Amino acid sequence: MKPFLFRLALLLVLAGGLLGCTSQKPAGPVLVMAGGSGPEEVHIKEQLAAFQQTHPDIQVVYQSTPSSASARHTLFVTWLSSRSPEVDVLNLDVIWIPEFAAAGWILPLDDFLAREPLPLSDFVPAGLACSRYRNNIFALPWYVDAGLLYYRRDLYTALGLDPPRTFADLDKIKPLQKNFGLPYGFLFQGQSYEGLVCVVLEFLWGNGGAVFDNQGRLVLDSPRNREALTLLVDLIYREHVSPLAVTTFLEEDCRYAFQAGYAAAMRNWPYAYALMEEPDSQVKGKFAVLPPLHSRKARPVAVFGGGALALNAFSRHPDAAAKLVRFLLQPDNLRDRALALGMLPPLKSLYTDPALTAKFPYLSRLKEVFFTARPRPITPLYSFISDILRLHFSRALTRQETPEQALRRGQAEIAALLARYEPPGGSP
């Protein structure tokens, strides 16, 4: 038996102990749900215990997986490519859904939704768009992410400066650094990984550029994209608004530095907000959030991210697994998850919820950022496209390639990829 299957089999035997249940054999199926670890694991186990109280005939075992998205993707691919039935419910990054659907690894949910409809019109549009493949729904959004700009409101106010909204406003960071002795100006995720792709896409989109146009044509190597990527590179090497160290930064590196009071502005995800409002934060009550930066000739566009729930196509208990998914997507459970973890709900109706707007005051003001966030290219080939983008964006950011070279070479490699592996469905 493969090691991971042995561990899962052992978990099934010991399921009662994992979730505080009795060791008696359950009357119905035993489900295994796979998702994140840490605080996410603690909270989901509470919700799974509540599910079991209302569904005593179904027992659920939670299988924690790596916090690294790439490591979790590798683990899920290993499970599903071997047609393992052991994991029933999967927490997927939204960018994986077309890939897994095209491979036949996750079940279409249309039949389940026909029997017990959900208010699909209430889901954030980008979340539902990411969940579709060949006109079928293969997952349902569980939480949403969208890029935000965090800035030190207190410092901007002290100098009488307007909040940063456009690329040109980044020039105002220099006097902030000088007057307040800030070692960093503008921070973003610059390491060679998916976070960098998201940052650069927001700069491209915020300048009116794109990777694919509305007709699905590849337009990566364009004047507007060259202008936007050059601007990002110049922030490090010409303007010195962003430190060279940013080329090694992940989300938490940015948050730690901003939260310690070392930076004037930062691009990051919503999860950082609640953490930076904790009592020991150096910036508690001193920062605010805005939509992503953009040029004066375009509007701000945030990259859409988040997670979705899907059913293993090889599950022995798809009907029971569908009941669990439905339970987790109840508005009360989504609200509790957001309050506990800062993972924002996928339902538009919750963005005016009093409990959520009290904890996240920006929600009512910035809800359009989440409702209009743009998905990354929706295609089974996205992981390959992302690898190409990540490589050349990183080379541009570390001056191994000029922005012009990065975009030209990236365009050629993506074109070759598409020519060789025509996507079996969906459109970039």
Chain segment 129-170, per-residue pLDDT in tens: 999 999 999 999 999 999 999 999 999 999 999 999 999 999
Q: Residue 414 in 3-state DSSP?
A: helix
67 has a pLDDT exceeding 90 = no
Tens-place pLDDT, residues 199-247 = 999 999 999 999 999 999 999 999 999 999 999 999 999 999 999 999 9
Tens-place pLDDT, residues 315-350 = 999 999 999 999 999 999 999 999 999 899 999 999
- 241 touches 235 (CB < 8 A): yes
Compute the distance between CA of residue 149 and CA of residue 285 in angstroms, rounded to an integer: 16
Tens-place pLDDT, residues 238-256 = 999 999 999 999 999 999 9
121-135 average pLDDT score:
95
Compute the distance between CA of residue 290 and CA of residue 147 in angstroms, rounded to an integer: 9
In our burial notation (b when 16+ CB lie closer than 10 A, e otherwise), range 28-59 reads ebbbbbbbbeeebeebbbebbeebbeebeebb
366 has a pLDDT exceeding 70 = yes
% pLDDT > 70, the chain: 92
Compute the distance between CA of residue 426 and CA of residue 220 in angstroms, rounded to an integer: 19
The domains of the chain are located at 3-145+304-371, 148-301+377-428
Instruction: Please state the φ and ψ torsions of residue 136, each to the nearest 5 degrees.
Output: -110, 150
Compute the distance between CA of residue 358 and CA of residue 11 in angstroms, rounded to an integer: 39
Q: What's the sign of the alpha-carbon dihedral 61, 66, 72, 76?
A: negative
For the chain, counts of helices (H) and of strands (E) = 19, 11
Q: What integer best gives the mean pLDDT of the chain?
A: 92
5 vs 95, more confident:
95
- 219 touches 210 (CB < 8 A): yes
With CA atoms as reference, report the closest residue to 324 among 99, 30, 78.
30
Angle between helix axes 382-397 and 223-237 (nearest 10 degrees) is 50
- 324 touches 51 (CB < 8 A): yes
22 has a pLDDT exceeding 70 = no
Supply the pTM of this predicted model: 0.89
Instruction: Please state the φ and ψ torsions of residue 362, each to the nearest 5 degrees.
Output: -70, -15
- Cβ neighbours around 105 below 10 Å, total: 22
102-130 average pLDDT score:
96
Compute the distance between CA of residue 207 and CA of residue 175 in angstroms, rounded to an integer: 25
| Confidence band, pLDDT 50/70/90 cuts, at residue 70 | confident
User: What does 314-331 look like in DSSP terms, one character per residue?
Assistant: T-S-HHHHHHHHHHHTSH
198 has a pLDDT exceeding 50 = yes
Query: Which superfamily does 3-145+304-371 belong to?
Result: Periplasmic binding protein-like II (3.40.190.10)
- Cβ neighbours around 238 below 10 Å, total: 10
Class of domain 148-301+377-428: alpha beta
Q: What's the sign of the alpha-carbon dihedral 23, 27, 32, 38?
A: negative
